[in-house]
A and B are shown apart, each in its own frame.
Chain A
């Protein structure tokens, strides 16, 4: 069973370009989370999605950032018109639904995508 897959692992963009980060959750997982980690800092929650539904986007910047998790295919974190302050590692995590129908506490993390904005 493959783990959470993120790509690209490294992405370089110039200011003003768009960045797209992809995340395929573990097989059988229907919940995806995106976190951002700035250098020497902890992980900051950005957004929590189920298939075709955004559950909580309270950590997403109001402008330029968007996320989706379509019925088919990976989850996408999109950053438009990138600025140098967007340079960070972006982690995706997924979780299953427990037999009781509630979301299990544990998250399974991908290896992250490092975005560098020149």
Chain B
């Protein structure tokens, strides 16, 4: 079974600074998807960014970007110009043929 590992239970960043959240995964497949989801206190799961494994170019969504290293099976999320509203749990997820598995999450705190 595929596993997703987030080695940072908690991270903290100063407002307007940059923070990187780590994620590694284990798979023998070559075609899959990777995601970062944000879960604020409301518990709603919000898609932050998505990466298709066959694309070498790193995905970017405004202040959010990823560093996708397929050979290393690494998928980190970089948040630039951090804002107070970025404070949440962040989950890395792997999906292949409809099967999505999540990491344990990283709690991000943003300090004013």
Binding site for B on A (CB under 8 A): 31, 33, 35, 37, 41-45, 48, 55-56, 58, 89, 91, 93, 95, 102-103, 105-107, 109, 111-112
Pairwise interchain contact B95-A89, C-beta atoms closer than 8 A = no
Q: How many A-B residue pairs have CB under 8 A?
A: 57
A42-B104, A106-B50 are contacts. A95–B98 as well, Cβ < 8 Å? yes
- B98 adjacent to A48 (CB under 8 Å): yes
- In the complex, the chain A residue whose C-beta lies closest to that of B32 is A105
Roughly how many angstroms separate A55 CA and B97 CA in the complex, as a whole number?
11
In the complex, the answer to whether A105 meets B95 with C-beta atoms within 8 Å is yes
Chain B interface category by residue count: 20 to 34
Interface contact A41-B105, CB-CB below 8 Å: yes
When the two chains form their complex, are residues A106 and B33 in contact, meaning their CB atoms are under 8 A apart?
Answer: yes
Residues from chain B with a CB closer than 8 A to the CB of A56 are 99
Residues 36-66 of chain B: 1 if any A CB is under 8 Å from the residue's CB, otherwise 0?
0100001111010010100000000000000
The 0/1 profile, CB within 8 Å of A marked 1, for residues 1-19 of chain B is 1000010000000000000
- B100's contact among A41, A45, A58, by CB below 8 Å, is which? A45
- Known A89-B43, A105-B32; judge A33-B100 contact (CB<8 A): yes
Contacting residues, chain A, for B104 (C-beta < 8 A): 41-42
